[in-house]
Amino acid sequence: MDSKLDLFETAMQKVYGPYDLRAQPDSTWKPGNGGGHRGRYLWTDAFGVLNFITLSREKSSDGPAYLHLARQLANTVHEVLGREREPSGAAARLQGATDDAPLRGGLRIGKLDASGPDGDGMYHHYLTLWMYALDVLARVAEEARWNALAVQLAQAIHPRFMVERHGRESMVWKISTDMRHVLVGSKGHLDDVTGFVVYRMLRDTARGFGTFGDDVLTPEIEQYARIMEHADISLSGDPLDLGMGLWLAHFNRDAAWSRKLSEQALEIARERFLVTAARPLTAANRLHRLAFREFGACLGIKCYEKGLESLVEGVETVLDIWKGKMLQDEDDEDEDLRPINLVMYAAALIPGAFHGVTLGGELLVKR
């Protein structure tokens, strides 16, 4: 049987390959198609960066080469999703960004359509995941500039997602590419919690590098905390939602918000997700199952694995069920979703860089 690490590398090669580790660092290497506009999709590529970091630790002899691939992917995302949608390389930076501050205009989602119900724009949860990826890269590579870029992005987008609703501070889910218009006015279930957790990480890393004052991002963190006080911290029951809830909760298990999230998520995992997802794939149920959402649940459960051996066994069963589908060279049913499926499958196999970053602590990459 293939090892988890072999499967992990195979999945990454299918999305971002070919890459020759012997040729790294190679400034001419361009990452493969991540499934979005001009080949880049922010959520997929955030997983890509973190997965390359995982490989740098799992295959330590090639660690510098994998970190180079992570840097190259991050730079490519900034050059594509940090610019307007023109198909040529001459596309202007997003409004507010400059060569010296390339993320001050935010980052596009990377949707294939410019507008419409599933058109381009900015999602808060995509942006915060990208900040997390940059922050982990900063810690592992010991390069402060990645954290500085994450802080720059955090400061730029934060006020654009904030609104007042019924006399209280709240958030919106999606804004336009120029950050001037609200496209989806509801609040994401976990957007305030994600902002609170990730922005604290960015601040802690910045303090370690000494690149900003100690209070950098403190006003934003305090605003997220205020929203959390009166918002309903709840999960929708969607597998990806429960997975991201457990992922966030594992960074600070003792906090009240963390206990509330984990209680809900673990109940959903035991009573619903693992029961349904452990069923074999069939032509009938494949129509109602999205691989990347199930992989998100598996990732979250693994990150929150302490004392949950029975749940982790169930996760491995789910991943085994999907294995054959993920290793196929072609999948006409899921061609558009193939990149996101593969990077999230890899992360669910070995959480690596998703697991073990404590608020104010050091990065501990664990299988």
Burial class (CB in 10 A: 0-12, 13-18, 19+), 61: exposed
CB neighbours of residue 134 within 10 Å: 29
Number of Cα atoms under 13 Å in the Cβ half of residue 252: 15
pLDDT mean over 27-48: 95
Q: What is the pLDDT of residue 15?
A: 96
The answer to whether 38 touches 80, Cβ cutoff 8 Å, is yes
Domain boundaries, the chain: 107-232
Q: What is the pLDDT of residue 359?
A: 37
Residue 362 has pLDDT above 60, yes or no: no
What's the chain's average pLDDT?
A: 91
The answer to whether 194 touches 248, Cβ cutoff 8 Å, is yes
The answer to whether 359 touches 324, Cβ cutoff 8 Å, is no
Q: What is the pLDDT of residue 361?
A: 41
Q: What is the pLDDT of residue 333?
A: 60
pLDDT digits (tens, 9 = 90+) for 68-89: 999 999 999 999 999 999 865 5
% of residues, the chain, pLDDT over 90: 79
* Angstrom distances, CA of residue 74 to CA of 12, 80, 90, 140: 15, 10, 19, 14
Q: What is the pLDDT of residue 307?
A: 64
CB neighbours of residue 313 within 10 Å: 10
Res. 147 pLDDT band, cuts 50 70 90: very high
Res. 1 pLDDT band, cuts 50 70 90: very low
- Can you say how many angstroms the Cα of residue 31 is from the centroid of all Cα atoms in its chain? 17
pLDDT mean over 229-244: 89
Residue 111 has pLDDT above 90, yes or no: yes
pLDDT mean over 119-141: 97
Residue 131 has pLDDT above 80, yes or no: yes
Q: What is the pTM of this model?
A: 0.95
% of residues, the chain, pLDDT over 70: 93
Res. 6 pLDDT band, cuts 50 70 90: very high
Higher pLDDT, 288 or 188: 188
pLDDT mean over 89-111: 93
Alpha helices (runs of H) in the chain, residue ranges in sequence order: 4-16, 42-58, 63-81, 124-141, 144-157, 191-209, 218-230, 239-249, 256-268, 274-277, 291-303, 309-327, 338-349
Q: What is the pLDDT of residue 309?
A: 72
Q: What is the pLDDT of residue 282?
A: 81
Q: What is the pLDDT of residue 358?
A: 40
pLDDT mean over 182-205: 95
Residue 34 has pLDDT above 60, yes or no: yes
pLDDT digits (tens, 9 = 90+) for 296-355: 999 999 999 866 777 989 999 999 999 988 988 665 567 889 999 999 999 999 999 998
Among 13-27, 167-181, 353-367, the range with the most confident prediction by mean pLDDT is: 167-181
CA distance 214 to 205: 10
Residue 178 has pLDDT above 80, yes or no: yes
Q: What is the pLDDT of residue 286?
A: 74
pLDDT mean over 191-212: 95
Q: What is the pLDDT of residue 27?
A: 86
